[in-house]
Amino acid sequence: MEVAESFEKCTFQKGTTIIRQGDDPSSDYLYVLQAGLCSVTIDGERLPEPHGTLGPGSLIGDIGLLFGTPRVKTVETE
């Protein structure tokens, strides 16, 4: 319960870039998608399904935070 209580709710409009490939993760967040869909691209190309679409329960930004590396993909709301 303590982990869930530390979350902050964010709402994004359609077409919003949540993370951008190459960005530094040091001051960013890990997102858990509660509702809606997001598209995933690498080098401007959408990933093939099922990896090109994220739905509720998906994590966004986990790789950069876990490994301290720049963002490996761009995730945008649909």
Interval 40-71: pLDDT, tens: 999 999 999 999 999 999 999 888 888 888 89
- Strand, helix or coil at 70? coil
Q: Where are the beta strands (DSSP E) in the chain?
A: 17-19, 31-32, 38-42, 45-46, 53-54, 59-60, 74-77
Query: C-alpha angle 22/26/11, rounded to 5°?
Result: 80
Closest by Cα among 30, 35, 37 to 59: 30
**pTM listed for this prediction:** 0.87
